[in-house]
Structure 1
Amino acid sequence: MRIHSRIPLFMVMFASLCLALSLPHAHAQAASSKLSVHWEELTASDFREGIHRSAGVCLLPFGILEKHGPHLPLGTDLLDVRYAALHAAEREYAVVFPEYYFGQIAEAKHEPGTMAYSRGMQLALLQETTDEMARNGCKKILIVNGHGGNDSLLPYFAQTQLDKPHDYVVYVFDERTPQHGGPPKKTKIDMHAGESETSKMMISHPELVHPDRATSESGADQARQKIPDGIYTGIWWYTRFPFHYSGEGAAATKELGEYQMKWWIDSVVKAIQQVKSDDVSLTLQREFYEKSSHPLDTQP
């Protein structure tokens, strides 16, 4: 004998109402647990939570706008470093500052699209930016460098933070390409828009890579300057690579790009973790500031 059980209509309606009321709450909980790492995407209250969740660690991915051979976009360094930093921050939460490209690129002023800010502006703007980041709770600022022309600028900037007291620490992470491992490289000269950089762009923004144009200009070393290695002059890059292209972009492969980009992201993740766990730098920085105000009292 089959018994038909019927649920009263009012109970069905009540259950449906309860489900409908619970869904927004569930969605709100999911949204609150998944904070964006993008500074510009956070609401004011979410930003407060982001700073708390990141333990005050904020990333400043530093790119540039310059020619990258005949086949890569002007913003290659900016696009690549943001790709690496954002993916790293998704794994080890940190708040990532918006696009920043106000660095050293005087050697490319002869090429179209280059934005070369003056020396004073570069340092002043970077100082104002880190000061404002710190005022908003970023007490550990990790500058992730994506541009070779900043290799001297950024350590100098970090060193000059000792000029006067700051309630935050500037860290600089300046590694973009692994020295060993991965698919074998085909080229020896690979300094700008060459095999490595083109390969990484194939991962971060493949739609912006034009491999068919890579051989339309020469990326060979012109070697037009004859002075010893121990002597430096600012025109050195132009003497060697006047077309602002160093290497062979046509040699790039997606496999090399995948390996190098993964290495870069993994390295930034480790850097974030190390900065988060650093409980010494700010303390010693404060000690240094205090002692530097009365150096004659410093004891050996």
Structure 2
Amino acid sequence: MPIKVKQNLPARDILENENIFVMTDTRAMTQDIRPLKVLVLNLMPTKIVTETQILRKLSNTPLQIEVEFLQTVTYQSQHTDESHLNEFYKTFDDVKDDYYDGLVITGAPLDFVDYEDVDYWDEICEIMEWSKKHVHCTFHLCWGAFAGLYYHYGIRKRDRIPKLSGIYEHKLLNKKSPLFRGFDDVFYAPQSRATEVTREQILNEPELELMAESDIAGVTIVKSKDSRQLFVLCHLEYDADTLKLEYERDKAKGMNPEVPYNYFPDDDPTKEPVVNWRSAGQLLWTNWINYYVYQTTPYDIKEVENE
């Protein structure tokens, strides 16, 4: 939450230059507060796991956030009980006339599938187009980020073999950005994907800003310059055992996966992983909600349509 100070306090300018949100007493007297509305398009097969991971990140803020979950109708989940979906999920027809402060589009296990071959691609495109006039800021995650970069900017993914799996060191390219408030100069983050985009693709698009990258994992966080779109290719929301469970699943399928990089102590899968990304993950999601949603969304959410 912002700190409130007198209008002319000398420290105000210093703090604001450090990206610390300072609210003057004049503004505070006229401020109205309402709950933020966030919609989560959950494309993961393990929906309950993903729900929990995202809600955990959104919950660490004093702001009141109303979260709704969205499912596709052109593809029926095979891994989540239908009663759960019927009770807790909406369809696009249910929300198409509504407005939201934030939208999260999750990943999906579709690394080697062309976008146009995805069963629900047309529906995803309809939702992303709708978001331009009905959502203040969208957080695209992993496959959702690749899909968003392709739909909005025509940036194509390419295969990455072997699969990128493990914990990688990343560096900030814009340390003063509010998105990285509280971050160290480098941070660790889980990666789990077999696709990538290049830094040249991002830098060649004038409407995009490359925010964070890794010497090994490459492009990791991208933002539109108008701050309405955020594309995150890493998984700072992952639990301690998520990569372990993925590794064991792939082994059981006979896929002979590589041991996730820098994840198990001594690269020994019998040892419990040590989490070194949780604080960065919390900062990323909290900063998104605070600086890119709460601080800038219109009080009358329907005004999003005119932004």
TM range (shorter): 0.3 to 0.5
- Structure possessing the higher radius of gyration over alpha carbons: 1
TM-score by length of 2: 0.36
Q: Tell me the TM-score normalized by structure 1.
A: 0.36
Q: Which has the higher strand share?
A: 2
